Structure 1
Amino acid sequence: MRHSSNTLVDPAAAASSGLFEQPVPRSLVHRASVSEVFLTSIHPDGPDRFLISAQWPRQHSFYRSRHGFHDPLIFAETIRQAGLIIGHAGYQVPLANPFILNGMEFDITPEGLARGGAPAHLMLEARCENIQRRGERLLGLDYRIDLYRDMVRVGTARCGFTCVSPAVYRRLRGSAAGAGTGAGTGAGAGAGVDVGVDVGAGAGAGAAPLRDELPPPVAPELVGQESAGDVVLSAMDRPGSWLLRCDPDHPVLFDHPVDHVPGMVVLEAMRQAAFARSGSRPLLVGCAMEFLRYAELGLPTEIHAAPEPARADGTVPVRVAAAQNGDIVAQGVLRVRPDSGA
């Protein structure tokens, strides 16, 4: 997998090795739809180290490429999937076991997001640390990722997860655990939660009920979207605050039934809020998020965003939070590059 110089294999060698021929099994990344699987292989690269290959399509139904750039949140989803496949393929965590994600941090360069004339082939170097076990069973770990494109490092990420059994998850969630036949990554009790998918279930079957009617979306162009169906914010009468709108029929954000608001929905809402507060066509280039508790589907969720002064590198930090009943369920800082053309 590596040259003797300890650099990643060159793109031509990687392509000829078959690393990008097909996606990994969808169960390994907790996805019901094959089209939502971005990883294509995983290989050990030394003790507690892994090389993971991924492919980003030139265009995606939700993570749309715009103005010559891939959607930055396709990197976030790739990071999420990397943690799951590390747990299952690298440490033999049973497929049905939930993963509790404590947070996510990433940085990526505009060059890493640039869309070319073919799908983007990427390599992720993953290093696992703070590994916790009970006997042979993995309890949790932290993982760091270096993202390479054409042998150039274009991004970094850091995440950590805890593994629990289905029985423990049911106790944690109580009656809410029966609301769906599977669950996706979301804001959890001290973490985000990702539960193994019942891959035989339909994507909409058994989803927890939401309010009878979705609140009206803000104008798509205000939050960097093209379709009202992809808008996850509804206007409130307070500047910098919005109401989260969750459509359980959305084929990507709700890829399979869930018993809580998926974490990628929360992150998307925060990205849209940051977009609305940051001026014309900002590009998301960094994120530092923590998930504090479950975001319940049956409760209104407020999304708050407040930009801070620009940094020396020209990026603008936007402090974001999601709250239910006055309690913060997730919070963090997004970094955007204003008027980047993205």
Structure 2
Amino acid sequence: MTTDLDPAVRPRAGLSFGRTVERGLVHRTAVSEVFVTDVQQLGEFSVRAGAQLPLNHGYFSDHMQRPALFDPLLLLESGRQAGIAGSHAHMGLKPGTAMIVDSFTLALDGLAALVIGRVPAELRIDTEYSGKRSRTGRVRRGRVDQQFFIDGTRVGEHAMDVLFVNHHEHDILRHSQRGTPAPLTSDFPDLAPAGQVEAGLVGRANPLNVVLARAEVGAGTASALVAPRFGNRSLFDHDYDHLPAAVLVEAARQLALLAVGGTAGAAAVSGTHVVGVEASFSRFAELDAPVTASAPLPPSGAERRVLPVEFTQGGEVIATVTVTLVASSAIGPTA
């Protein structure tokens, strides 16, 4: 869908990258976890946002891969923030409304523009919204389509199918799935899990950012328990009554890298980059029951690998996250 610019809402001369937006607009508690700096309306159902990608961040910068790229999950989070901020600021979404992601896709193609340089990157996010309004004018389900640009170069695209619910509706939804009140992340201690995977095996330096434990690699598959640290304030910026989608996506990335290391050797992890993620979520990942991630081992020697990671809880598949990986040689020349 292409949206013509409405003269009445034509954007200002340029996006501002001088300060972040109000943290409540992007549903974040810590200002340090806000990346969106500006949101401008383009048309009735479209906005343009700016986000500054930091050079140094405790979670998004903690990677062993070389050359160092801005984290695809940082672009994913920036897109989420731009989508929710735009819907509040310009699409009429009421305060207190949550955006639950049913599924999403992320595809990156301008990898050379994502190589980290000497200054933070200024990311432009063009967003279009679609969805049917009820008789009261409210959108319950919708789609968010985004294009990412750095210095005028398109670096990727992102799309989300989402459900908009208020706090009361969220409580009803959670109770219908569980039948009992859900615990909160604040109810659990912040302890390193038994059998936590060694950070370097999943491309990390800081064990705080490792979300897998009791991993097994062999017989054609890789599997592990999803076991994040609840004290990781990038993954758990506020209290949750479930494991958020970002944790499952990180777990999928780490299991995919672990699988690559299992077939091509641990050294291959530092030369392997995520360029695509496709995810669907059928249930909430509960905090009080084990969640297991599993994936087939990829063929060794391939420059491009696609690994479907399946998450199960209580014998039921609750999510599938497919991760696309490429070797460093696919990045191409940089400026």
Same fold by TM (over 0.5)? yes
Residue in 1 aligned with 2:97?
97
- Secondary structure of the residue aligned to 1:287 is strand
Note if 1:330 corresponds to 2:322.
no
Residue in 1 aligned with 2:70?
70
Distance 1:65 1:257, change over 3 A: closer
Of stretches 272-281 and 114-123 in structure 1, the one that deviates more from structure 2 is: 272-281
1:73-97 deviations in Å (ceiling 9; x for gaps): 1111112212211321222222212
Note if 1:147 corresponds to 2:148.
yes
Q: Compute the displacement of 1:130 (Å).
A: 3.0
Of stretches 246-255 and 166-175 in structure 1, the one that deviates more from structure 2 is: 166-175
1:212-227 to 2 correspondence within 5 Å? 214-227=193-206
Residue in 1 aligned with 2:264?
none
Q: 1:53 aligns with which of 42, 50, 55?
A: 50
Distance in 2 between the 1:234 and 1:310 partners?
Answer: 24
Residue in 1 aligned with 2:173?
172
Unaligned runs of 5+ in 1: 6-13, 181-205
Distance 1:18 1:86, change over 3 A: closer
Instruction: Check the 8 A contact 1:234/1:243 in 2, yes or no.
Output: yes
Matched residue type, 2:173: L
Instruction: Check the 8 A contact 2:242/2:286 in 1, yes or no.
Output: yes
- Secondary structure of the residue aligned to 2:139 is strand
Distance in 2 between the 1:134 and 1:320 partners?
Answer: 40
Note if 1:207 corresponds to 2:186.
yes
Residue in 2 aligned with 1:247?
229
Residue in 2 aligned with 1:194?
none
Unaligned runs of 5+ in 2: 6-11, 262-267
Distance in 2 between the 1:246 and 1:176 partners?
Answer: 23
1:104-160 deviations in Å (ceiling 9; x for gaps): 111113124211210000111111123433422232310111111111111111112
CA RMSD across the alignment? 2.8
Q: Compute the displacement of 1:168 (Å).
A: 1.3
Q: Compute the displacement of 1:326 (Å).
A: 1.5
Distance 1:252 1:270, change over 3 A: same
- Secondary structure of the residue aligned to 1:87 is helix
Consecutive aligned runs of 4 or more in structure 1 exceeding 6 Å deviation: 210-213
Q: Identity rate of aligned residues, in percent?
A: 27
Q: What TM-score do the two structures reach when normalised by structure 2?
A: 0.83
- Secondary structure of the residue aligned to 1:336 is strand
1:281-314 deviations in Å (ceiling 9; x for gaps): 21000111111101000110101122456999x4
- Secondary structure of the residue aligned to 1:155 is strand
Note if 1:233 corresponds to 2:234.
no
Residue in 2 aligned with 1:31?
28
- Secondary structure of the residue aligned to 2:112 is helix
Q: 2:275 aligns with which of 278, 281, 285?
A: 285
Residue in 2 aligned with 1:196?
none
Note if 1:86 corresponds to 2:86.
yes
Residue correspondences, number:
305
Residue in 1 aligned with 2:255?
273
